[in-house]
Chains A and B, each alone.
Chain A
Amino acid sequence: MKKLLFFIPFIAFVALGAVFYQQLGKDTEYMPSALVGQQIPDFKLVDMETDAVVNNSAMPNEPYLLNFWATWCPSCSAEHAYLGELAEQGVNIVGVDYKDETPAAKRWLAERGNPYSLVLLDEMGHFGVDMGITGAPETFVVSATGEILYRHQGVVDEAVWKTLKGYMQ
């Protein structure tokens, strides 16, 4: 019995080691979204194409991706071509031009193609804050009824799309 006591530090060491080992390789930047399971917050934003103010009723009636992007964001540039491919496959993508200048954004879409069924202008970033985003790009999977199902921070590529696709059903 007494001898067992001497092993307490060793047991504590092994336990801590196991805990730390589990944490290895995890993405330290990962942060669960507080909005998963909730409805898209109410918004009033300008539709880039028509210049009209639209609200939640302008959103698609099918599952879609809500993609925050901006011309100042290098990662958005990296994912743009892949979003184009997804749009060609028939994925409905709504874009939010986040804290950007509209003329530059229009030029960007004219030059690189427009994968979005709808582009909303969030010049001040208020909608971004309501959606709890921390930067661009960020992509949400939204259900046909407007429920937020999943959030991805960073570039969308083929590997990420596999995950997103699972939530699109």
Chain B
Amino acid sequence: MIGSLIRAATLFLIFWGSNVIAMEVLEFKTPEDQLRYRILTEELRCPKCQNQNLEDSNAGIAVDLRNQIYRMVNDGQSNEQIVDYMVARYGEFVLYRPVHDQSTAILWYGPFALLIIGALVFVIVVIKNKRQTDRGA
């Protein structure tokens, strides 16, 4: 019993240790920069493996772009500058949070339009039913 526990603990330590080693070690000037880097790599999409963000992806290009973002963050460039840099090269496609413009209007406002239509239908049906029951009574 104790033997198997020790074995499990050892295995855990081995795997945990290897994970720590596999992590990239990046040094930032300030904790804010580190947070900015994390948010940017989470919100930018990997152009190669399209259902992953830059942070999750291990594609060669994602690694390059992460390094580029790291450099730009450390250079003191603003989030806006970094996002513009990416959009200029890979298009608005790389934004996981699409911009508000004509081509994305349905995406942003469609659900609200549907909600309003649904609410209107609901109200009309309720009023009609009420009238009918009033008449019946």
Chain A residues in the interface with B (C-beta under 8 A): 28-29, 31-35, 99, 125, 128-135
| B contact residues around A134 at 8 Å (CB) | 47-48, 59, 61, 90
Could you tell me if B89 and A35 are in contact, using CB atoms closer than 8 angstroms? yes
Known: A31-B93, A135-B59. 7 other contacts (CB 8 A): A31-B91, A35-B89, A125-B61, A132-B89, A134-B48, A134-B59, A135-B48
A130–B93 Cα distance when bound, in Å, is 16
Interface size on B, residues (CB 8 A): 16
- The smallest C-beta distance from A21 to any residue of chain B, in angstroms, reads 19
- Give CA–CA (A132, B48) in the complex, Å: 11
Q: Are A34 and B59 in contact (CB under 8 A)?
A: no
Residue among A28, A29, A34, A125 making CB contact with B90, cutoff 8 Å: A34
- In the complex, what residue of chain A is closest to B91 when comparing beta carbons? A34
B60 touches A99 (CB 8 A): yes
The docked-state distance in angstroms from the alpha carbon of A35 to that of B86 is 12
A68 → B minimal CB distance (Å)? 11
Can you report 29 residue pairs joining A to B where beta carbons are below 8 Å apart? A29-B50, A31-B47, A31-B91, A31-B93, A32-B91, A32-B93, A33-B91, A34-B87, A34-B88, A34-B91, A34-B93, A35-B89, A125-B60, A125-B64, A128-B61, A128-B64, A129-B61, A129-B65, A129-B68, A130-B89, A131-B89, A132-B47, A132-B91, A134-B47, A134-B48, A134-B61, A135-B48, A135-B60, A135-B61
**Interface residue SS majority, chain B:** helix
B residues within 8 Å of A by Cβ?
A: 47-48, 50, 59-61, 64-65, 68, 87-93
CB distance from B107 to the nearest CB of A (A): 14
Min CB distance A153 to B, Å, is: 10
Q: Which residue of B lies closest to A132 (CB)?
A: B89
Q: Point out the residue from B50, B59, B89, B93 that lies within 8 Å of A129, measured CB to CB.
A: B89
A32: nearest residue on chain B (CB-CB)? Answer: B91
In the complex the two chains form, is B91's CB within 8 Å of A133's CB? no
B49's nearest neighbour on chain A, judged by CB, is A134
Residue on B nearest A41 in the bound complex, by CB: B89
Q: Which residues of B contact A125 (CB under 8 A)?
A: 60-61, 64
Provide the bound-state CA to CA distance between A133 and B48, in Å: 9
Contacts of B91 in A (CB 8 A): 31-34, 132
Alpha-carbon distance between A165 and B59 when the two chains are bound, in angstroms:
31
Complexed CA–CA distance, A28 and B88 (Å) = 22
